[in-house]
Amino acid sequence: MLEIARVSVAYGQHRAVDDVALRVAKGEIVVVLGANGSGKSSLLKTIARVLPSAPGGSVRLAGREIADLPPHAVVEAGLALVPEGRGIFGELTVRENLMLGAFARRARAGEAANLARVLALFPRLGERLGQAARTMSGGEQQMVAIGRALMSAPDILLLDEPSLGLAPLICGELFRALTRIREGGIGILLVEQNAKRSLAIADRGYLMAQGRLVGEGDAARLRADPAVQRAYLGHFDAA
Amino acid sequence: MILLEATLAGLVLGGMYALVALGLNLQYGVARIMNLAYGEGVIVAAFAAWWLYTAGGINPIFGLALILPAAFAVNWLIYRLALTPLVRRAKLREQLEVDSILATFGLLFVVQGLMLVAFGGAYYSYGFLSVPVVIADVTIAANRLLALGFALVLGLALYLALTRTRIGTAVRAVAVDPVAAGLVAIDVRQVAAASFALGGALVAAGGVLVSMFLTFNANIGVVFTMKALIVVIMGGVGNLLGCLVAGLILGLTETFVATWVDPGLTLAATYAIFLAILLVRPQGLFGRAAR
Ligand SMILES: Nc1ncnc2c1ncn2[C@@H]1O[C@H](COP(=O)(O)OP(=O)(O)OP(=O)(O)O)[C@@H](O)[C@H]1O
Ligand SMILES: [Mg+2]
């Protein structure tokens, strides 16, 4: 269970994330929707500690405060981030990327089982283990990124716009994979622009604007909310 | 016969350059420290090997077993005490590179000054295994062959460690993307410190091996810094195979020019090749074009 409170991020004078509180339980998918520049990526990065947050905030994982840990210790604590732009090691092979995913001590014992699970989730990776990651297609690279994060045996998985730039077909494949990851008991915090697809698989959602959370609710309720439809789903109605 | 002899001598020299450059590649490629005091490590280790041999009767191969761990420890301390503050305050990699150039430039003069005080400016050498060996009609000193053998073993061990082990793969991951490395639970600061220290141990190994067959004095460290830089840039930053090939090219060129043209022109030839390669491939022989 991930619980954050009073989390803020400032770039100089500009507050990109302003006093945010949210929670993600085991085995649920929680989506954060927001326009470009609303602070979604900054929020995920600061939870994973690759971006410093303003003092006074709290990030708790299974009750333990992790807001003052370095990034590698956050992964050891059970939280993995798939960053915007994927952050895979392009020069290394798929196998090496997955092996590094299990670099955390917490992941060593279950490494073989986790690898089998990841390859069952993304069979395509199994055929490409020896290939340099940067030579894979966009969708396959996203699979490498998610697979690598899963190799660390996380309790909570953070995903920053995994569907960005992917064709609808592969996008659907990816979102189905997320529901299977949830079945394994992992809690997922998903940042997305694709409101329709993400609300379709999510349990709950938050709405973010200009660094603040401006709404929250069950995914079904958000889908039906006329204001949400106007702001986040309108694009799809028109399409 | 002269051709074979010169080739063998060039390979030995080139092997030394490649080994020394491998260490610089770790310090620069992984820890992002541009270490201008790097070549001083060659000379400190050479004096250490000389001292162990002449004062203690310890042959340089056993000397390696003492000097390598010591060099690792000293370089680790240098990183922790002198360079970590720079790493902390640098927001960008580029800033760290500039800061580290200034800091290690100072370190160069400190180390060189201490050695001048201790040993003066005279040239030193010692005679270990300087017996001729004949291979297929070519004569070469046994100590050179031994040096080449050890350079090969060390280089191969490093290559296997970096490509076949998890911790070695983690080192390469830090080199390509330190932020992403943190996301897979790699302690980036610790890996950087260890890589810097390992680089220092490799340059010390180069110093010990070189001291078995070359004369050295307290002033020539900077020559090794320059040559290591040339090899790293020529081979492509972060590329181990590039290091090997560029090192051998440099060693062979220098030996051929010294044998057939004029020993005074070796440095000029080195730079000519360096320039020629960079004109054709600015990213180095095996480097990838800039992102
Ligand atoms: N490194 C930075 N320096 C200064 N400002 C930044 C930096 N990164 C982000 N910002 C600003 O912070 C705000 C939030 O950015 P962020 O990337 O978190 O938004 P986002 O919701 O992820 O946007 P997108 O949907 O486009 O990915 C923006 O106004 C952005 O310009
Ligand atoms: Mg973003």
| ipTM confidence score | 0.88
Span A161-170, mean pLDDT?
Answer: 90
CB neighbourhood size of B205 (10 A): 28
The reply to whether A198 touches chain B by the CB within 8 Å rule is no
Kindly report the protein residue whose alpha carbon is nearest to atom 29 of ligand 1: A37
Give the domain A2-86+155-236 fold: Rossmann fold (3.40.50)
Distance from C-alpha of B9 to C-alpha of B223, rounded to nearest angstrom = 19
Span A92-100, mean pLDDT?
Answer: 95
Span A151-171, mean pLDDT?
Answer: 93
Chain A neighbors of B183, CB-CB under 8 A: 48, 50, 71, 75, 80-81, 83, 87, 149
The predicted pLDDT at position B289 comes to 56
In three state form, how does the secondary structure of chain A look? CEEEEEEEEEECCEEEEEEEEEEECCCCEEEEEECCCCCHHHHHHHHCCCCCCCCCCEEEECCEECCCCCHHHHHHHCEEEECCCCCCCCCCEHHHHHHHHCCCHHHHCCHHHHHHHHHHHCHHHHHCCCCEHHHCCHHHHHHHHHHHHHCCCCCEEEEECCCCCCCHHHHHHHHHHHHHHHHCCCEEEEEECCHHHHHHHCCEEEEEECCEEEEEEEHHHHHHCHHHHHHHHHHHHHC
Q: Where are the domains of chain A?
A: 2-86+155-236
Instruction: Name the DSSP class of B284.
Output: -
CB A213 within 8 A of CB A19: no
Q: Which of B176, B183, B186 sits opposite A81 (nearest CB)?
A: B183
Q: Which of A81, A91, A94, A134 to mutate to test the interface with B (most CBs of B within 10 A)?
A: A91
**B187 vs A91: CB contact, 8 Å cut-off?**
no
Which of helix, strand or coil describes residue B1?
A: coil
Distance from C-alpha of B16 to C-alpha of B19, rounded to nearest angstrom = 5
The predicted pLDDT at position A234 comes to 60
Q: What pLDDT tens digit does each residue of chain B (291 aa) get?
A: 788 888 888 888 899 999 999 999 999 988 888 899 998 999 999 999 999 999 888 898 898 999 999 999 999 999 999 888 888 888 787 888 888 888 889 888 888 889 888 888 888 888 887 778 887 778 778 888 888 888 889 989 999 999 999 999 999 999 888 999 999 999 999 999 999 999 999 999 999 999 998 888 988 888 889 999 999 988 888 788 888 899 999 999 999 998 888 888 888 888 888 898 889 888 888 876 543
% of chain A exceeding 90 in pLDDT? 82
What value does the mean pLDDT of chain A take? 92
pLDDT higher than threshold 60 for residue A236: no
pLDDT higher than threshold 70 for residue A235: no
